[in-house]
């Protein structure tokens, strides 16, 4: 494997197969991906191509079937669940496709979780300021079930950003938002990328959003391909 000081993601021949009653599905068949510090990379691909699966692997929430994975220059391929949980807490903010909010906690409590795990004294104040940034200052004490899909999405985004993680993984973060809110959230993500140098790996079907990335990669038939500029127009 090559090494580089400011490499945030490096995968070498990464593969993932799921086995189920219906047999084995080979979803990722040798993914080579390198993302450098401060880059904003968009991942596109047909539904079912394995985009969410890549994110789960990068977050240590799914076991690698083969190949190697390095994050922030550390080989994490053989991390135990506990080791990865610790690493994730410090370094990765994730916006899941289906939010994964804790139903028994209010919006502000959900956003404060990563901060409390990091033992920040002002966890609730910081959580409040992140909810303000995603336009939800008026919904601090609402439970997920009392929020619309778009509002839950924004809580999930605030939670992913609140920990100040170096790497932000976002799975269709604007998918449930109306156009105006989606644009604001996209603005926030790219602003954090540019101003704070947070590395961003973003899955989206939104062409406008994709065009703002430094690079666009397409996942198809278990492999990643770089899209040329002309191809960008027909995601
Ligand atoms: N936990 C799982 N067990 C078995 N198959 C799965 C599991 N998760 C996803 N898959 C399958 O893997 C493929 C890729 O899924 P996914 O990563 O969600 O694709 P995408 O996000 O690109 O739509 C799909 O065929 C899906 O049905
Ligand atoms: Mg998906």
**Centroid of ligand 1 to alpha carbon of 29 (angstroms):** 13
CB of 27 shorter than 6 A to ligand 1: yes
Give the model's confidence band at 181: pLDDT under 50 very low, under 70 low, under 90 confident, else very high.
confident
Residue of 14, 16, 25 to test ligand 1 pocket, by largest number of atoms within 8 Å of CB = 25
Give the model's confidence band at 132: pLDDT under 50 very low, under 70 low, under 90 confident, else very high.
very high
Looking at the CA of 46, which ligand is closest? 1
CB of 204 shorter than 6 A to ligand 1: no
Q: Is residue 3 pLDDT above 60, yes or no?
A: no
Tell me what pLDDT residue 48 has.
95
Q: Is residue 229 pLDDT above 70, yes or no?
A: no
**Centroid of ligand 1 to alpha carbon of 218 (angstroms):** 16
Question: Which atom of ligand 1 is closest in space to residue 53's alpha carbon?
Answer: 17
**Closest Cα to atom 4, ligand 1: which residue?**
18
Per-residue pLDDT reduced to its tens digit, 68-114: 999 999 999 999 999 999 999 999 999 998 899 999 999 999 999 99
Q: Please state the rounded mean pLDDT for residues 186-206.
A: 92
Architecture of domain 37-55+91-232: 3-Layer(aba) Sandwich (3.40)
Residue of 18, 55, 220 to test ligand 1 pocket, by largest number of atoms within 8 Å of CB = 18
Q: How many C-alpha atoms does 128 have within 13 Å on its Cβ side? A: 6
Q: Is residue 184 pLDDT above 80, yes or no?
A: yes
Q: Enumerate the domain spans of the chain.
A: 37-55+91-232
pTM across the whole model: 0.92
**Centroid of ligand 2 to alpha carbon of 216 (angstroms):** 16
**Centroid of ligand 1 to alpha carbon of 21 (angstroms):** 14
**Centroid of ligand 2 to alpha carbon of 161 (angstroms):** 20
Give the model's confidence band at 232: pLDDT under 50 very low, under 70 low, under 90 confident, else very high.
low
Give the model's confidence band at 145: pLDDT under 50 very low, under 70 low, under 90 confident, else very high.
very high
Say which range, 2-6, 210-214, 217-221, 230-234, has the weakest mean pLDDT.
230-234
Give the model's confidence band at 151: pLDDT under 50 very low, under 70 low, under 90 confident, else very high.
very high
Tell me what pLDDT residue 163 has.
87
């Amino acid at each position: 494997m090559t090494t580089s000081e400011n490499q945030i993601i490096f995968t070498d021949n990464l593969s993932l197969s799921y086995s189920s009653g219906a047999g084995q599905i080979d979803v990722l068949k040798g993914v080579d991906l390198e993302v450098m510090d401060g880059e904003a990379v968009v991942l596109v691909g047909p539904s079912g191509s394995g985009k969410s699966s890549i994110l789960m692997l990068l977050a240590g929430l799914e076991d690698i079937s083969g190949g190697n994975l390095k994050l922030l220059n550390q080989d994490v391929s053989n991390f135990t669940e506990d080791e990865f949980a610790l690493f994730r807490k410090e370094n990765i903010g994730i916006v899941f496709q289906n939010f994964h909010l804790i139903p028994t906690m209010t919006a502000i409590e959900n956003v404060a979780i990563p901060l409390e795990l990091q033992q920040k004294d002002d966890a609730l104040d910081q959580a409040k300021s992140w909810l303000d940034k995603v336009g939800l200052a008026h919904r601090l004490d609402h439970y997920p079930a009392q929020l619309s899909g778009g509002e839950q999405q924004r809580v999930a985004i605030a939670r992913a950003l609140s920990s100040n993680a170096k790497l932000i993984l976002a799975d269709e973060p604007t998918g449930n938002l109306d156009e105006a809110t989606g644009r604001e959230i996209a603005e926030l993500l790219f602003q954090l990328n540019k101003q704070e140098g947070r590395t961003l790996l973003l899955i989206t079907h939104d062409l406008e959003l994709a065009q703002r990335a430094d690079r666009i990669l397409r996942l198809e038939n278990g492999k990643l391909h770089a899209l040329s500029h002309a191809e960008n127009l027909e995601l």
